[in-house]
Structure 1
Amino acid sequence: MRLTVTSWNINSVRLRIDSVLRFLAEARPDVLCLQETKCPDDAFPLKAFRGSGYENVVFAGQKGYNGVAILSRFPLSTRAVMGFCERQDARHISAVLGPEAGAAAGIALHDFYVPAGGDVPDRALNPKFGHKLDFLAELRAWGGRRPSGPAILVGDLNVAPLEHDVWSHRQLLDVVSHTPVETQALETLRNEAGWIDSARLLIPEPEKIYTWWSYRSPDWAAANKGRRLDHAWVSPELAGTVRRVEVFRDARGWERPSDHAPVTLTLEL
Structure 2
Amino acid sequence: MAQNSLRIVTWNINSVRLRLPLLADLVRDLAPDVLCLQETKCPDEFFPHEGVEALGFPYRAIRGMKGYNGVAVLSRIPFTVRHDDPDWCARGDCRHLGVDLDVPGGLELHDFYVPAGGDIPDRAVNPKFAHKLDFVAEATAWNRERGPTKRSVLVGDLNIAPLESDVWSHKQLLTVVSHTPVEVEAMTEWQKAGAWHDAIRHFVPPPEKVYTWWSYRNKDWEASNRGRRLDHIWVSGDLVGKLSSHRILKPARNWTQSSDHVPVMVELAL
TM-score relative to the length of structure 1: 0.96
Question: Take 1:193 and 1:109, find their aligned partners in 2: how far apart are those partners?
Answer: 13
Look up the match of 2:56: 53
Look up the match of 1:167: 168
1:87 corresponds to which of 84, 91, 94: 91
1:65 corresponds to which of 68, 86, 94: 68
1:203-255 per-position Cα deviation (integer Å, ceiling 9, x unaligned): 11000000000000020111100000000000111111112221100111000
How do residues 114-133 of structure 1 correspond to structure 2 at under 5 angstroms?
114-133=114-133
Alignment-mate amino acid for residue 251 of structure 2: D
1:201 and 2:202 correspond: yes
Alignment-mate amino acid for residue 166 of structure 1: V
1:67-93 per-position Cα deviation (integer Å, ceiling 9, x unaligned): 000001111113435311111000000
1:155-203 per-position Cα deviation (integer Å, ceiling 9, x unaligned): 0000000010000000000000000000010011102220000111221
Alignment-mate amino acid for residue 138 of structure 1: E
Look up the match of 1:229: 230
* Ranges of 4+ aligned residues in structure 1 off by more than 4 Å: none
Question: Take 1:170 and 1:222, find their aligned partners in 2: how far apart are those partners?
Answer: 20
Name the SS for the 1:170 alignment partner. Answer: helix
Structure 2's unaligned 5+ residue stretches are none
Name the SS for the 2:9 alignment partner. Answer: strand
Structure 1's unaligned 5+ residue stretches are none
1:135-159 per-position Cα deviation (integer Å, ceiling 9, x unaligned): 0100101111337530100000000
Look up the match of 1:155: 156
Question: Take 2:29 and 2:167, find their aligned partners in 1: how far apart are those partners?
Answer: 28
Residues 34 and 70, structure 1, Cα contact 8 Å, conserved in 2: yes
Look up the match of 1:185: 186
Alignment-mate amino acid for residue 34 of structure 1: L
Alignment-mate amino acid for residue 95 of structure 1: V
RMSD: 1.2
Name the SS for the 2:191 alignment partner. Answer: helix
TM-score relative to the length of structure 2: 0.95
Question: Take 1:31 and 1:187, find their aligned partners in 2: how far apart are those partners?
Answer: 26
Residues 58 and 79, structure 1, Cα contact 8 Å, conserved in 2: no
Look up the match of 1:143: 143
Name the SS for the 1:215 alignment partner. Answer: coil
Question: Take 2:119 and 2:194, find their aligned partners in 1: how far apart are those partners?
Answer: 29
Look up the match of 1:255: 256
1:9 and 2:3 correspond: no
Q: Percent identity?
A: 53
Alignment-mate amino acid for residue 153 of structure 2: I
Question: Take 1:177 and 1:160, find their aligned partners in 2: how far apart are those partners?
Answer: 6
